[in-house]
Structure 1
């Protein structure tokens, strides 16, 4: 049985590294993307992605909100967590959860567990593009 997979999308390398490393320590399998275009490539690749965590403001033509919309069109049941210091929860519909920056890893891990369960949940809500 494989661990559930989370796609972490964050343009700031140190933040992305810290998030990915912390979630790996919890037990999740992590895929990383530095921008929306990289994330879309992963989502369209056929790799299993059980949940996506994304920043909003990123360089390039696809910001976090557009990435969320495209992810939902590829796999409507795949949960998306939006993280931003510039928006409010009411601005991120149809995201499944919102975290205002700065936030703690514990807060993120709690939301992830609520949305998809622990890393080794047998009834994984596996979502592929």
Structure 2
């Protein structure tokens, strides 16, 4: 058994992301990053573009491109912020809401695939480990 944590974590992240992205493109016609963005906007309708960039760990130029592609697909709408004309707020469209609903079974499938073969206790340990890395490392 390979015991190189950093190497395995990086390899696993890459494989899981690549698989999830391909499944998302095949099933929904949008990237897994776009699904994540839709879910974040749904949780904070009217959020600022810069706040979404922070949540997705993207720089502002990368998010501007992502938002532009999503807007051209009719997934979300950018509106100028009333308080700061330089800022943009993001809102879901009906198409974006439909994509979120269509994504839910895919998200369940992906989560089930990652935990398949592990006991509930093992999944709890894995989640504890991942939460530690994501929030406290």
TM-score using structure 1 length: 0.29
As a proportion of its length, which structure holds more helix?
2
Greater gyration radius: 2
As a proportion of its length, which structure holds more strand?
1
